[in-house]
Amino acid sequence: MAPRGVPYAVVMPYPGELPESLLRKVVTGSFRGEGAARVRTARPSSTPICHPWPDSVLGPRRCGDGAARIKRVTIEDLVGERLMIGLSGATLSDADVRVFQDTRAAGLILYRRNYEGPAALATLLDALESALGRRLLVATDHEGGRIVMLGAGTTIFPDNLAMGTAGEEAFAFRQGQFEARELRRLGIDLNLGPCLDVLTERYSPNIGIRSYGKDPRIVSRYGVARIRGMARGDLSACAKHFPGKGHSPLDAHLKLPTIDSTPEEMRATHLPPFLEAMAAGVAAVMTSHPVYPKLDPSGVPATFSRRLVGDWLRGELNFAGVIASDDLEMGAVSETCPIGEAAVRTAAAGHDLLLVCHTAPAQRAAAVALVEAYRSGRLPLAEGEAAAERVRRLRLLRAARREGGPPAPEPDARPLAQAIATRAVTEVGHEAVDLRRALNGRVAVVFPRFSDLAPRITIEPEIADERGWVAGAFGSAGITPETLVVGIEPTADEIAAAAKRAAAADATVLFLFDAHLYASNRALLEAVQAQARRLAVVLLRDPYDAALLAPGVRGLTAYGFRKCQLDAVVARLTHP
């Protein structure tokens, strides 16, 4: 509910279902209880609909027979309802509050930079909502695997490609249910996942292990099972990235990709998971940034495409939920136009919720441009009102900020994560003669310094203690390795040291981080392969590095670098 003096529609679409005394308090703004302005009821067929956004923002509107007047909604309110923005850090500043007040943003997206644990997050959310006097729609990217923003208090599951490989639909449902309970305890309303992009034989530098696989039937089954699990745990899900970018040749965070797929290919391969998710009642769908010239000959990014968003997703496919953009501060968008123009074009395409995730100047510019576009008539007000109403319904779907008790991982979630990872381990290399026997001798392990990534992405504490994890994982098999920790992008000196260790050891285990992307890691692989007597290589992210393994080198992957996945790979390596 808005602070006194701020015009805001206190919405009660079906006033006949409340006692008159309570209705009067809600509409006048004098009711300030926990459920104020958040009551949802089923639509009775005989009750006249009172649209919660007025016919015109120029004045109040009377709804229904004898209903009280609804407070005036300004264009700024309408724009703010459709904005989801991020904060710069884990503690709330006056500047943060001012950005939310000035833009009237109704959505908050949480990143790794905002999370210092459950208690700190609770303080952050409570302070922000208290300062604003209204409930926010709080979201985060919790895909599992490498895309996890909130660590402590949650279970970090394997990446989706591991789930697809594990081959058990019930696992996906239970994952969704467990993560829903964990995230609701932390105060999250909306999970920006799962990723329903379908992989192909084409190289995918950004999606990769975030996908459930190459078969649209598998992606549909596991994605929908997880969405249903989240719904069972009272967490809203957002399927992404419509109309599908599992075959994007570039990372949209950095550059604008072009996907040349035909409509027939998209409908046969990439669209089915989204259709299944919509049929299952997914709350939101996120679009993608790439250009699809054979779907929209205008050549605009999908984010700006009325043909793809408004006409296809909302119109032909009849999706009634919230359509969200991907982050408008990504390189794919910023190379196209300034942020203000991008926000207007994204709204014009048919999006309801616009994400501007990182910087206050961009967030302010987006809000200002949208307000001006509505005032000038460039954007139709009726569409804006309908879009804001869809977001508002999602935002007020829950009264409580948190539910389910104090933050804590679900007791059965870690065993499930380990079971998924264990079943996902895949041999991707060649037969390594006598490797098993050589592991009884002198063993060298080369392992990346994951702790260097911890300030930017969620790294489990056990993996951030690189030497400790290696000693424990191999020690359980009676192996005491000589461990060399190298940079995520190793230096020439580290590469030389790794080659020297490999030459002296009976067996070497190299944990390899995307040699197909990083030249330094490819140099590391080549140096170790040239010197090692017997070698096993563990692929830590996408499996494309398998093509770089030399004959006689054993390759394994669990499709990710989370602890459960690394534990599973070492168990397979040492107990074949």
Name the nearest CA neighbour of 417 among 194, 195, 174, 220: 174
Residue 191 has pLDDT above 60, yes or no: yes
User: Distance from CA of residue 73 to its chain's centroid?
Assistant: 31
Which residues is 538 bridged to in the sheet? 511, 556
Which CATH number covers residue 534? Answer: 3.40.50.1700
Q: Give percent above pLDDT 70 in the chain.
A: 88
The verdict on residue 511 lying in a domain is: yes
Q: Does one domain contain both 389 and 509?
A: no
State which residues form the domain around 69. Answer: 1-73
Q: Are 55 and 69 in contact (CB under 8 A)?
A: no
pLDDT at position 71: 55
Same domain as 323, residue 192: yes
Fill in the DSSP letter of residue 195: B
Q: Of 374, 395, 416, which marks where a domain is finished? A: 395
Give the single-character DSSP code of 314: I
Peptide bond just before 448 cis, omega within 30 deg: no
Whether the bond between 241 and the residue before it is cis, its omega within 30 degrees of 0, is: yes
Co-location of 81 and 3 in the same domain: no
Q: Token match 């104090």: residue? A: 406
Residue 193: give its domain's CATH number: 3.20.20.300
Q: Are residues 167 and 313 in the same domain?
A: yes
User: Which distant-in-sequence residues (6+ apart) come within 8 Å of 165 by Cβ?
Assistant: 213, 423, 424, 426, 559
Chain segment 118-175, per-residue pLDDT in tens: 999 999 999 999 999 999 999 999 999 999 999 999 999 999 999 999 999 999 999 9
Largest CA distance in the chain: 88
Residues 79 and 155 in one domain: yes
Residues 66 and 115 in one domain: no
Q: Is 260 a catalytic residue?
A: no
Is 413 domain-assigned?
no
326 is catalytic: yes
Give dist(CA 529, CA 553) in Å, integer. Answer: 8
Distance of CA 150 to the CA centre of its chain: 11
End of a domain among 49, 73, 97?
73
Residues 531, 534, 540, 545, Cα dihedral to 10°: 70
- Claim to verify: residue 66 and residue 80 sit in the same structural domain: no
- Residue 326 falls within a domain, yes or no? yes
331 part of a folded domain:
yes
Helices (H) and strands (E) in the chain, counts: 20, 18
Q: Are residues 356 and 469 in the same domain?
A: no
Q: Which of 31, 49, 73 is the last residue of a domain?
A: 73
The verdict on 80 and 34 lying in the same domain is no
> How many domains is the chain partitioned into structurally?
3
207 and 140 in a single domain? The answer is yes
386 shares its domain with 485: no
Q: What pTM does this model have?
A: 0.86
What is the secondary structure of 9-75 as a DSSP string?
A: ----S-GGGS-HHHHHHHHHT---STTTT-------TTSPP--SS-S-TTS-EE-STTPPEEPP--H
Residue 107, domain member (yes or no): yes
Helices 118-132 and 169-186 meet at what angle, rounded to 10?
60
Model confidence over 474-510: pLDDT tens digits?
Answer: 999 999 999 999 999 999 999 999 999 999 999 999 9
- Inside any domain, residue 419: no
From the candidates 253, 260, 412, 434, give the one annotated as an active-site residue.
253
Query: Same domain for 309 and 353?
Result: yes
What pLDDT does 177 receive? 98
Would the pLDDT of 207 be above 70? yes
Q: What type of residue is 25? A: K
Of 77, 189, 197, 326, which one is the catalytic site residue? 326
